[in-house]
Amino acid sequence: MDIGISALIALTAGAYLLGAIPFGLLITNYFYKTDLRVVGSGNIGATNARRVGGWPLGLATLALDAAKGAIPAGIALLLLGKDGHGAQAAVFIVAFAAFAGHLYPVYLGFKTGGKGVSTAGGCFMVLSPWALISAIAVFIVVAALGRRVSAASLAAAAALPAAVFLAENGVIPAAGAAVFSAAVIWRHRENIARLANGTEPRL
């Protein structure tokens, strides 16, 4: 479906604004009167939320962060479809806007965003579910062996573009996945340094 450039811009902006909602920060502050930005790793995502409120809070943050990726991606896919390179690229642009909102939330002055794993997972739950299952399998194996969430996240991100290429049999989806993957790896650069020197905490 051709929805027009103005509608695409509005959809992209709406995706960013939804993605920028810092759910982990909000629910942790509501239930525990704690600012995630000043405890643990300082990250507003599910892993740090779990440190504050245990697994229930961590899983709630995970689900909400995934939803804010899945909803815009699903709407874009419904309106634009998957036929043709232009439609595929437009869908990935909308999905990436939600993801970018989580990384650089306007509501927090474009600072202290999350690392994007949950929101990217929500996007690919819609865009390429079989590829996401493959990435989750990589995450589980690496997490079980190394007991480090960051290493598992990096491994899953690295595996995602190839998994998308195989699942979707297309260059545009794989290229879009590679952009997501590169952003997740970039956001984990401090974790990479700690993994290299052996100071990254275990799960």
What's the pLDDT tens digit per position in 172-196?
A: 999 999 999 999 999 999 999 999 9
Query: What was the pLDDT predicted at 170?
Result: 86
Determine the Cα–Cα distance for residues 114 and 122; give it in Å rounded to an integer.
14
Is pLDDT at 112 greater than 70 in this prediction?
A: yes
Answer whether residue 74 is part of any domain.
yes
State the average pLDDT for the chain: 94
Is pLDDT at 116 greater than 70 in this prediction?
A: yes
Answer whether residue 202 is part of any domain.
no
Determine the Cα–Cα distance for residues 8 and 76; give it in Å rounded to an integer.
9
Report long-range pairs for 155-161 (Cβ below 8 Å, ≥24 apart). 156/117, 157/117, 157/120, 157/181, 157/184, 157/185, 157/188, 158/185, 159/134, 159/135, 160/120, 160/124, 160/131, 160/132, 160/135
Is pLDDT at 91 greater than 90 in this prediction?
A: yes
Number of domains composing the chain:
1
Answer whether residue 203 is part of any domain.
no
